[in-house]
Amino acid sequence: MNAQESPSTRPYLIRALYEWCTDNGFTPYVAVAVDESVQVPREFVKDGEIVLNVSYDATSGLNIGNDFIAFKARFGGVPREILVPIERVMAIYARENGQGMAFPISDAAPEPKSEPTLSEVAADERVMQLVSVDDASPSSTQTPPEPPKPASPAGGARPALKRIK
């Protein structure tokens, strides 16, 4: 079995981080990229994404399998069955401190777009600063701009995921 045929580590990492969150008293949240294969209440989907609280107190019958995350939860007091394919999970993290792990999402048939939006460009870790050949000179010693500093959780801002490689 080669690397292309080996099973994904994603469900194992999701289960491990879920266990870490619950063992340490944190609330595990799962960020999901919504498409037609994801069964969630559509009225709570924003910009093609939804964040789900998957804590023991918020779910019933939670099952984090190798192919799907399935559970029942209440949305606005109405019980709903949730079914999320593992490959649509973008991240799992602790609500209280933002620690967790993000995963790449690959669409099988991406829709053609004219130009990416600013948020898409900012989310892409492979973004580089391009310099025109006419503007670049060997004596130029410009440094790239510093990325913005994340807001601290103590300041009341929402926790942010930090990608660690």
pLDDT tens string 130-154: 444 444 444 444 445 555 555 544 5
Which superfamily does 10-105 belong to?
Answer: SspB-like (2.30.30.220)
Q: pLDDT band at residue 106, thresholds of 50, 70 and 90? A: confident
Alpha-carbon 105 to chain mean position: 8
Rounded distance between C-alpha atoms, residue 138 and residue 157, angstroms: 42
pTM of the full structure: 0.63
Residue 130 vs residue 54, higher pLDDT: 54
Report the sign of the C-alpha dihedral through residues 28, 34, 38, 42, in that order. Answer: positive
| Domain residue ranges in the chain | 10-105
